[in-house]
Amino acid sequence: MSHTHPELTAPGPLAPGGLRVTPLGGLGDVGRNMTVFEYDGRLLIVDCGVLFPEDHHPGVDLILPDFESIRDRLDDVEALVLTHGHEDHIGATPYLLRERSNIPLVGSELTLALLGSKLREHRLKETVHHVVKEGERIAFGPFDLEFVAVNHSIPDALAVAIRTGAGMVLHTGDFKMDQLPLDGRITDLRAFARLGEEGVDLFLTDSTNSEVPGFTTTEKSISPVLDRVFHESDQRIIVACFASHIHRVQQILDAAVEHGRKVAYVGRSMVRNMAVARDLGYLNVPPGVLVDAKELAALAPEKQVLISTGSQGEPMSALSRIAQRSHHFVHIEEGDTVILASSLIPGNENAVYRVINGLARWGARVVHKGNALVHVSGHASAGELLYCYNIVKPRNVMPVHGEIRHLLANGELAKATGVQNVVIAEDGVVVDLIDGKAEITGKVSCGYVFVDGQSVGDITEASLKDRRILGEEGFISVIVVIDSVTGKVAAGPEIHARGFAEDDTTFDAIKQPIIDALDRALADGVKDTHQLQQQVRRVIGRWVSNTHRRRPMIVPVVVES
C-alpha cells in the first residue's frame, strides 16, 4: 500500500496519455469533498463540498476546499459533477462559481434543484446546469461520463464512471447497498458489474463505514420503531433529522398519517428542501397532513408532529431553541416526545447531549439513536464494500471520503479481495494513472479555507490560534508613553485586562518592572517602538506566567510623545 509521504513536493508535468487525480478535500476528514481529474490539459471536478467547523475553529461558519492549485486553471475546467445533494458535496460550489460562474454543473435532478436554491441565496445567476440520469452518457471535453444509480441517505445520488484515454475511473460518490430502499432505486450493481467487465482502472470508493462490519441496516427498519413511539405518545411529537433526509421525513409523514396527526416543518432548510423534494416528486405528501407551524400549534397536542432541523445540537437551530424554551412559538411541555432521528457526527456529542438534557429537564421523553433504532447510516459497511470490490474487480483502488483510519480500513478490504494496487492518499496528494497503474507523484497545497461572516479565506490558522488564546486565556493590553526628548517613560504603563482578572490593581506589582526595563532599553539606545513593545511583552509575559500560571494574549503599545 502506498502511503502519504510528508516529503512530497509539487508534481512534475503529467505524462502524455496519463490521468491525474488530485483530491482537494474529503480524504482525511469527513467533509469538503472535492476531487480534480486532469487529462490532456483539461480538468473535471467531482463534488465541491464544505466541512463544518468544530470547537477548535471558534467563530468559523464553514470550511472550504482550497482552490489555490486550480485557481489559474479555472478556464480549463470542463465541468463540475455533483454526485448528490449533501452539503459536504455541494456546499462549496457557490464559492467556486464566484471565481468562474459558468462552470457547467452536472448532476441529477434533485441534486441540481437543491444546489439551485443555494445558488439563488448566494445571488449567483446565469449558471449552467446539465441534468443527468442514471444510465446516461455525456462527454465534457476529453471526459466521457456515465452515471450509475447509487443508494444513499438522500435520493437521486449518482456514481460516475469517467472514461478517458488513460482508462476508466469509477467514483462511487457516497453510497450504500440498501436492498429495499423506500424509492426502490437500488445501487445499480449490474452497471458496476458491466463496467467491471469493461475494465475499471481506478476505483474511488466511499470509506466512511469501512470499519463497520457487516451490512448497513435498511432504512425501512426505522418505520416500525417510529410506529411504536407514535403509539406510545399521547402528546406532541417533535422529530429532528437532517434537512436533506427525504426518506426519513417520508417515514415520519407516513407515521403521522397512520396515527391521525398533522405535521409542520420547523427550520428554514427543512421547509426549503422538503418543498423542493415534493415539487419534484421525491417526497409524497399525503393530502391534508401538512399544515404550517402556526396552524399546528392550534391543534390538540396529540394531533401534532413537528419535523425540525437541529439534530446535531447546532446552537442556532430550532431544536436547540426549543430545548432552551426560547423558540418563538414552540414550547416544549411535560409529556412531549422528541425523536432525534439522525446520526451523531463526531465532535457534536456535547452539543447534542446538551439538547437532550435540556429537553428532558422540561419533562420530554427523548428517543434517540442510543435508546432506539431511529437512525441508520447512509454509507456502505465493510460487507457491502467487499461485494463491490468482487463485482468490479478494479485494477487500482483509491479510498475516498473518510478520516485516515477509514481510508486505511477500506484499503485493507480492497486488498483482501485481491486488488493489487491500493493507493492511500490524503488531501492534496496527487495520484497519476499511467499505463493502467495508479501512483502518488506529488502534493499540492490544500489547507483549510475558512468562511467567517462575509470573509472567505481572510481568517488563517494563526488568527484561529489567537481566538483560541483569547477564549481560553484572556487578553492584557499595556500602554506606555515615552518622552522622545528625555528618553524616559513619560506616562503609564496603563494595563487593562479582559477575561483575565477584572481588577486592574492586580497589575500594580508589575508596573515598576516594566518602567525599569524600558528605561534600561532606552538608555542602551533602543529607539524602535516595535523593539520596546517586545520588551514590554517579555516582562509582563514572564510575570503573568510565573505568578498566575497563565498565557493570555498580550498587546503592548509604546507611543512616543
Residues that bind Zn ion (CB under 5 A): 86, 88, 174
CB of 64 to Zn ion, least distance (A): 15
Is the CB of 114 or the CB of 356 nearer to Zn ion?
Answer: 114
Is the CB of 174 or the CB of 201 nearer to Zn ion?
Answer: 174
Is the CB of 196 or the CB of 399 nearer to Zn ion?
Answer: 399
Is the CB of 29 or the CB of 201 nearer to Zn ion?
Answer: 29
CB of 84 to Zn ion, least distance (A): 5
Is the CB of 209 or the CB of 304 nearer to Zn ion?
Answer: 209
CB of 469 to Zn ion, least distance (A): 33
The answer for residues whose C-beta is within 8 angstroms of residue 35's C-beta and 6 or more apart is 21, 22, 23, 24, 26, 45, 46, 47, 171, 204, 400
The answer for residues whose C-beta is within 8 angstroms of residue 283's C-beta and 6 or more apart is 246, 249, 250, 253, 274, 277
DSSP output for 477-546: EEEEEEETTTTEEEEEEEEEEESS-S-GGGGHHHHHHHHHHHHHHHHTT---HHHHHHHHHHHHHHHHHH
Do 28 and 400 form a contact (C-beta atoms < 8 A)?
no
CB of 518 to Zn ion, least distance (A): 56
CB of 409 to Zn ion, least distance (A): 17
CB of 48 to Zn ion, least distance (A): 12
* Partners of 144 in the β-ladder: 139, 163
Do 228 and 218 form a contact (C-beta atoms < 8 A)?
no
Please tell me what DSSP assigns to residue 345. -
CB of 277 to Zn ion, least distance (A): 15
Beta strand pairing call for 237-240 and 304-308: parallel
Is the CB of 114 or the CB of 322 nearer to Zn ion?
Answer: 114
Is the CB of 88 or the CB of 432 nearer to Zn ion?
Answer: 88
Please tell me what DSSP assigns to residue 24. E
Cβ of 361: how many Cβ atoms within 10 Å?
Answer: 11
What is the residue type of 520?
R
Please tell me what DSSP assigns to residue 356. H
